[in-house]
Amino acid sequence: MLARQRQATILDRVRAAGGVRVTELAAEFGVSDMTIRRDLDTLHEQGLLAKVHGGATATGSTDEPGFHAKSVRQSAEKAAIAGHAAGLVRPGAAIALSAGTTTAELARRLVDVPGLTVVTNSLPVAEILHTAGRPDQTVVLTGGVRTPSDALVGPLAVEAIRSLHLDLLFLGVHGITERAGFTTPNLMEAETDRALVEAADRLVVLADHTKWGTVGISSIVGLGAADMLVSDDRLAPQARQVIDEKVGELVIVTGTGRAAGQETTR
């Protein structure tokens, strides 16, 4: 078994049981304790679990990594997801991008789309579009309180969003489960995201495979609220089945960007 496959299995064990022990994993996979510790180090550095003495536990539902920490995780998958999402945007549209590293990747691909109006509560997204300096694009940055992930949230953001009517929302999320739906570790961000959902005619969720099985403290909306979910080809078969039954359309993007293909399940 390759290290990447073993790490994916370890992560599944942690999410299912809440924790794992090094000795038990070493016996199960037939490798040394040191090999398992290296696997746990890798997953810990990616923020996917928390290392403890003798093993690892699941990360908390209120843990909120900073934007930079999240931006280095699953970068190839996020690039492929953003590449597909960019193809959904038409010139002259009024769209919204929520906060998140995948939506920031999408923003980089939208600088060449003419006539866009982009509403966002993400400081990085606004900076990317502002730096591009395209005169025929309008960028609306909501006010609000800044979170560790560089989102602007709270009553000011919600009030600004409620009066808007948007064609399309691209939503980044912290976690996805069948019961909790799309979630975030920040209570005020959940409220702000719900306002974005209500303002948009169509909801497209952008989420790499690691978001499945992760639960933030606050639900944004249920799975059925999404018209489309775009993920990568490492999304587990069980997750695909659940999402395909709930979401309007599940798009699985393969590849690492330049030569990416796609598989649409419906």
Specify the CATH number for the domain of residue 188.
Answer: 3.40.50.1360
> Quick one: pLDDT at residue 99?
94
Nearest to 146 by CA among 70, 72, 66: 66
Residue 32, sorted as left (phi over 0), alpha (psi -120 to 50) or beta, turns out to be beta
Q: Taking the CA atoms of 198, 202, 208 and 210 in sequence, report the sign of the dihedral they define.
A: positive
Q: What does the block give as tokens for 208?
A: 């790499």
What is the structure's pLDDT at 171? 98
108 with 209, same domain? Answer: yes
In a domain, 141, yes or no: yes
Question: Helix, strand or coil for residue 258?
Answer: coil
pTM: 0.74
Residue 259's pLDDT is 35
Same domain, 118 and 143: yes
What's the pLDDT score for residue 53? 78
In the block, tokens 């606050």 appear at 218
Q: Is residue 63, in this structure, part of any structural domain at all?
A: no
Q: Which residues contact 88 (CB under 8 A, 6 or more apart)?
A: 168, 204, 228
Residues 130 and 183 in one domain: yes
Tens-of-pLDDT digits for all 266 residues of the chain?
788 889 989 988 877 666 788 999 999 999 999 999 999 998 888 777 778 778 887 665 555 555 555 554 667 899 999 999 999 999 999 999 999 999 999 999 999 999 999 999 999 999 999 999 899 999 999 999 998 888 999 999 999 999 999 999 999 999 999 989 999 988 899 999 999 999 999 999 999 998 998 888 889 999 999 999 999 999 999 999 999 999 999 999 986 443 344 456 56
Q: Find the domain containing 88 and state its range.
A: 68-264
The total number of structural domains in the chain stands at 2
Q: Are residues 176 and 74 in the same domain?
A: yes
> Any idea what the CATH number is for the domain that residue 7 is in?
1.10.10.10
Same domain, 87 and 164: yes
Give the list of residues 6+ apart from residue 72 with CB closer than 8 angstroms, or none: none
Residues 52 and 136 in one domain: no
- β-strands 203-206, 168-172 pairing: parallel
Per-residue pLDDT at 63: 52
Q: Are residues 99 and 225 in the same domain?
A: yes
- Cβ-Cβ contacts under 8 Å for 31 (sequence gap 6 or more): 6
Same domain for 221 and 163, yes or no, is yes
pLDDT of residue 213: 85
Residue at 87 is within a domain: yes
